[in-house]
Each structure stands twice: as C-alpha cells, then as structure tokens.
Structure 1
Amino acid sequence: MPRLTVVVPVYNEQDVLPLFAERIRPVLDGLHVSYEVLAVDDGSRDATPVVLESLRRQWPQLRTVRLRSNSGHQNALAAGLHRAGGEYVVSIDVDLQDPPEVIGDMLRLAESANLDVVHGVRADRSTDTPFKRGTAGLYYRLIRRIVGTEVPHNAGDFRLLSRTAVDALTALPEHQPVYRLLVPWLGLPSGEITYTRAVRAAGQSKYPLAKMIRLALDSVVGFSAAPLRVATWLGLGGIVLSTVLAVAGLVAWIRGDVVPGWTSMIVAVGFLGALQLLCLGLLGEYVARIFTTLQARPAFVVAYDSASEADLCKL
C-alpha cells in the first residue's frame, strides 16, 4: 500500500500529459515516500490512452484506469477514489493550473496537524477570465448561502484526503457526486493551503459553460431542498395574487365598472401557467434523481486498470 496516491482525471489531454508528468514526477520523487499516480482516462477520444501507456512504461509509479465511456469529471474522480490505495489521496487536474509543488505542503500539514482533509484554496485567480472569476464567485456565494459557511471559498477539487475521508466518501450512495461539497459535509478535521492559480499548460478547457451550469445545478439540487421551498412560496404567492385579482374583479362587477375584454384574463392565465410549469420543473429535478437512485446503475464502468493482471492478460 503506497503512502500517497495522486488521482488525476483525464479527458482528451494528449497535449498536456507529457508536461504534467515532467513536472509532477520530480515533486513526488522528492517527497521520499511510496506513491502511485492513478490517471483515470474518462473515455478520451484522442491519443490520450497511447500517451498514458507510453508514460507508464517509463514511470513505474504511474497506474492507468480507463472508463468505457465519458462519465464526467466528478464520476472519473469517484472512480479514482474507489481504486486509490494510498494512506493519503490527493486529487488534482492534469492541466497544471493547480501546482503539483503544493502536494508536499499538503502532506506535511496533514501529518503534523493530524488532519483528514487539506483543501487547496485559490488565493489568486488573476489568470482566469473576468467571466470565469465572476461566475465562480457567484457559485461559491450561492453554495455557501444554501449549504453552509463550512464550504471553503475558491476551493475546487485540488485537495488531500486521509484514508478515513476516502473510505467515508466511497461509502456514500451518491450517483451524482459533487466532492467540493461532499468533503466539507463530512465534518472531518481540515486545513487549507493557498496557492496562485496558473494558466492552462496546453490544450483547451474541458469545463465549458454548459458543464459549469450542470455542476451548479447538481450542487444546489443535491445538497438542498431550497428549490422545493422556492416553488412552494411561489405557489402561495400566486394563490394570494389570484385571490386579490378575484376580489378586485368582484368589486368592479358590483360597481358596474366591468370593461369587456380578455387582456387581464390572458395575463392571469399566462402568469399562473408559467408558475405551475416552473414548480413542476423543480419537482421534476428531484423526481429524476429519485428515479436514477432507484435504477442503481453505476455512475462509471471501468474497462481497464493497469494494476490488474487479469486486465493485462485480456489485452
């Protein structure tokens, strides 16, 4: 069992992989502890599997796990956590925006302070675009307000976990995990290491706006019933407004001030119809998650693990 496992989700990263290996290997060798680097190929469609195999032949500590299809960043991370064997597990992206040199600081802090979690916190995000910084700030404000202040601000998926934390996370029946919220939810002793976020070393971001919106939706729906309560309050507000309109219409009819027309009716019906659709949509998000949980389908399927002799014999 290695002292340290570094989990690296990878998707279509043929250009940055050699740079990542060149930079992180001296860092890990310099720690003078037993380690493995667990690269989880999330169904890449470029030459990523070939590059990983080439690197593995030159780097004995590199282990590759290949998923049968693209399952998403969080599920690829989950696959790595389920198969990580180290006493401490560090998760890091391959794009080198999070510096591998910080891993040593995380490990020393965890050992000296007896911590189960060490978050990597981005103290400086000046290399990100203004849109990225703005949307990220909005996301963290929203999550801290809904989930709680225990969620570290500007802490992504660059973190160190003890074996206790990893076992607790892998035991959870989560089908759509959001680890930046699940880890603080555990309430384990934790600390922070700050760093400056760098620009991407090569290639293009694999986290476009659509995936960011999906992550925010999973974060809100998966950790809070607030949308359901919003739907309830909107429904109550619609009922109150409709009652006021009905009373106003009755008074106008008694006074004889009724003007023939259909504008007010169309506005009221349209407003109430939109309100009902919104509430049904919010309820549908929760029902969909219940349906997914009842199906009990795996969030990812491993096709190959270089540490498995059985898989090696099949190739």
Structure 2
Amino acid sequence: MERLRLIVPVYNDWTSFNILLRELDEVAGTLPVRMLISAIDDGSTQYPEELSNVAQLRNLEAVEIIHLYSNVGHQRAIAIGLATVAEDDDFDAVLVMDADGEDSPQAIGRLLEMAGNRRDFCVVAQRRRRSENLTFRLSYVVYKCAFRLLTGRQIAFGNFSLFSRSYVRRLVRVSDLWNNLPAAVLRSRLPIQALPVDRARRYAGQSKMNLTSLVVHGFSSISVYAETIFVRLLFLTLVLASISGVSITIVLSLRLFFPRFATPGWATTVSFGMVILLVQVLSVTLSSILMLLNSRVQRLIVPLADYKCFVDYRQQILSPVKERFAVLEPTLQPLKERLA
C-alpha cells in the first residue's frame, strides 16, 4: 500500500477539521504511506479563515474539498465521497473518519497494521469506550439491541473504517450505502476485521448527533435489512394468528361446555379482543408486503451512478507533490539552461 485516501465529511465544523489536518500531518510523517485528504463539504454555510494555513502542512500528499450543492446528511456525504474517489486511480485504500476528532488519527497506524500486506481488506474500528453523556450511551445500547433483534446481525462499529480499493469500488455499487455505511458493509458480506478503538473527545464545538439524529441514524441502518425484517414480521404474524386462534377456541369451548365457570359477557369480550389484535397484525403485515414489493420496482439510488448530481465542484487546497513541482518547473528552466 502506497497511497491512502481519507474521506472526511464536514458540516460547519471547519475549526475541528483544521485541527484534524495538523494532527494528520504529524501522523503522516510516521507512516509508510502517502495520505491524500478529501473533505466532503456537506452544504456548509460557514467557512473560517483557518484553512488558509493548509500550505504549512509538510507530510500530507494533497488536500481537497468536495463541495456539495446542499446538505444531504452525514451518511450520504460519505457515500458521495466514496463514489467520487472510486473513479480515481490515485489510491490503494480508503479510510473513512469524522472531522471532529472523535476518530483519533493515532489509530490509523493500527488500522493499517491490521490490514497488513493483503490485497483486499476491510478493517473497522470497534468502539470500546465512548465519551458521550450517559443518555446518549444508553440510547446507543438500545439502538444496537434493536438492530440485533430486528435483523439478527450485530453491529458494533461506526464510520471509522479502512477499505481496499477493490472493496470501495464494490461498495459504491451497492444502493444500501446511500442509507448507512456500517449496515451496507454488513449487507455486502465483506470479510470484516475489527480493531478495538476508544472514541476520543471532540476538538471543538458540540456534537451534531443528538437523540433525534441517533433515531434517524438507527432507522436508516435498520432499513437496509427491510427484507429480513419483513420475514421476521411474517413469522410473528403467524405466531400471533396461531395464539389468537387457540385462544378463541379455548374461550368458545369454555363458554359452550363449562358455562357455570364463565362470567356473563367475558367470552365475547375476549374473542373480539383477540380478533381485533389479529386484524391489526394482519393489516401491518399486508402494508409491509405492499411497501416492500413497491420498493422493488422503484429505481434505487446507486452512489457511483448518481453522485455527480450532488457535487458542485472539487477544490484543491493542497496540490499533490508532483503538481507542485510542475508549477516550479518553468521557474527552474532558465537556471537549467545557464548550467547547461
């Protein structure tokens, strides 16, 4: 591996991104790879002046900002970034990380070490310790339990992950990537290697992931397994239908054959209650079937095919080394002629 491309989504958090660039520059000097940074500007409305100091970076190969027309959300910004760089040939692997500092740059070396010299790899950072408040951590536990219950799969990693070039080009052709990167990785059945990593603290500002964002994020990831959830819902419907049928049979039997043990009106109440429960479950199941079948005939968004309509322009704020030398070449030409 020679060139590592970093995908970093940013939304009005350029102060943290500037700190991240300085830390990445320090880390890049200790790693045996050349690092290229692609920041995905997710429709930001604030642009500080600190980015003008990017020329002071010494170890990074290049830094660019991919500006989007509007805010599309964290996960979709990552999908657009992956699709954008997937068409380039100047990388051997891609690392996805957040710009706020919670994904520690010091862990990049460990991720690269786990990838080793393999041609294809998928290394994810498995969260070991989090720095958020207690409410958020409890909500995240509920989200993971709900994901496990509804999909039958365990999700214990986020966006901080490392992919080989071939795996990136496979992911950007998967429509599930548009909703959620971790769930798309699981759904793609890539051979995952997990590295335990502690979540660091933010560089500056407040996290934009609140309880509402977490709920939306959770449903987005769960929606990737819509077909699995439908099958589980169908089995649940059959179980409840069986329970309702048995309960109604027992109630009618008691009412007809053992009337002296029955309270007047109770059989009708229980029977109608079970019938209402059964009708509601069947209605939900039928609605789910219709929505699932309808979604199968709709055109899905494939990141590689659809990302261009979201990209405004690409801004190179730190050119690759070879381009910097190409700029200096005309200035050096007279000196070469005199020396000749």
Larger deviation, residues 106-115 vs 29-38: 106-115
Corresponding residue to 2:213 among 202, 206, 211: 211
Q: In the alignment, does 2:84 pair up with 1:78? A: no
The one-letter code of the counterpart of 2:103 is D
Counterpart CA distance in 2 for 1:245 and 1:186 is 43
| Equivalent in the alignment of 2:25 | 25
Corresponding residue to 2:137 among 133, 136, 150: 133
| Equivalent in the alignment of 2:285 | 279
Counterpart CA distance in 2 for 1:294 and 1:189 is 25
Corresponding residue to 1:252 among 251, 255, 279: 255
Q: CA deviation at 1:303?
A: 1.3
Larger deviation, residues 92-101 vs 63-72: 63-72
| Equivalent in the alignment of 2:322 | none
| 1:259-274 to 2 correspondences below 5 Å | 259=264, 263-264=269-270, 267-268=273-274, 270-274=276-280
| 1:215-230 to 2 correspondences below 5 Å | 215-223=217-225, 225-230=227-232
1:159-213 CA distances to partner (integer Å, 9 max, x unpaired)?
Answer: 1111111111122243634222333454555534333212222222222223322
Unaligned runs of 5+ in 2: 318-340
| Equivalent in the alignment of 2:63 | 62
Counterpart CA distance in 2 for 1:181 and 1:295 is 16
1:214-237 CA distances to partner (integer Å, 9 max, x unpaired)?
Answer: 333333332363422332233323
Q: CA deviation at 1:87?
A: 0.9
Given that residues 15 and 50 in structure 2 are in contact (C-alpha distance below 8 angstroms), is that contact kept between their aligned partners in structure 1?
Answer: no
| Equivalent in the alignment of 1:179 | 181
Given that residues 119 and 191 in structure 1 are in contact (C-alpha distance below 8 angstroms), is that contact kept between their aligned partners in structure 2?
Answer: yes
| 1:42-191 to 2 correspondences below 5 Å | 42-45=42-45, 47-48=46-47, 54=52, 61-84=62-85, 85=88, 86-112=91-117, 116-125=121-130, 127-141=131-145, 143=147, 154-174=156-176, 176-188=178-190, 190-191=192-193
Given that residues 116 and 190 in structure 1 are in contact (C-alpha distance below 8 angstroms), is that contact kept between their aligned partners in structure 2?
Answer: yes
Unaligned runs of 5+ in 1: 309-315
| Equivalent in the alignment of 2:325 | none
Counterpart CA distance in 2 for 1:194 and 1:242 is 46
Given that residues 14 and 51 in structure 1 are in contact (C-alpha distance below 8 angstroms), is that contact kept between their aligned partners in structure 2?
Answer: no
Q: In the alignment, does 2:304 pair up with 1:305? A: no
- Cα gap change, 1:266/1:142 in structure 2, threshold over 3 Å: closer, same or farther? closer
- Cα gap change, 1:62/1:288 in structure 2, threshold over 3 Å: closer, same or farther? farther
The one-letter code of the counterpart of 2:74 is H
The one-letter code of the counterpart of 1:129 is N
Counterpart CA distance in 2 for 1:55 and 1:282 is 53
Q: CA deviation at 1:139?
A: 3.8
- Cα gap change, 1:130/1:100 in structure 2, threshold over 3 Å: closer, same or farther? same
| Equivalent in the alignment of 2:335 | none
Q: In the alignment, does 2:41 pair up with 1:41? A: yes
Larger deviation, residues 35-44 vs 253-262: 253-262
Counterpart CA distance in 2 for 1:37 and 1:260 is 73
1:14-40 CA distances to partner (integer Å, 9 max, x unpaired)?
Answer: 442222223222222443643311000
Q: In the alignment, does 2:245 pair up with 1:231? A: no
Query: RMSD over aligned Cα, in angstroms?
Result: 3.6
Question: Runs ≥4 in structure 1, deviation > 6 angstroms?
Answer: 254-258
How many residues in Structure 1 have an aligned counterpart in Structure 2?
303
The one-letter code of the counterpart of 1:64 is I
Q: CA deviation at 1:251?
A: 5.5
- Cα gap change, 1:24/1:220 in structure 2, threshold over 3 Å: closer, same or farther? same
Is the partner of 1:124 in helix, strand or coil? coil
- Cα gap change, 1:197/1:251 in structure 2, threshold over 3 Å: closer, same or farther? closer
Q: CA deviation at 1:94?
A: 0.7
Counterpart CA distance in 2 for 1:170 and 1:55 is 33
Given that residues 151 and 229 in structure 2 are in contact (C-alpha distance below 8 angstroms), is that contact kept between their aligned partners in structure 1?
Answer: no
Q: Kindly name which structure, 1 or 2, has the bigger radius of gyration based on alpha carbons.
A: 2
- Cα gap change, 1:286/1:200 in structure 2, threshold over 3 Å: closer, same or farther? farther
Counterpart CA distance in 1 for 2:152 and 2:253 is 47
Given that residues 178 and 301 in structure 2 are in contact (C-alpha distance below 8 angstroms), is that contact kept between their aligned partners in structure 1?
Answer: no
Q: CA deviation at 1:307?
A: 5.0
| Equivalent in the alignment of 2:331 | none
| Equivalent in the alignment of 2:321 | none
The one-letter code of the counterpart of 1:201 is Y
Q: Give percent identity, aligned residues only.
A: 25
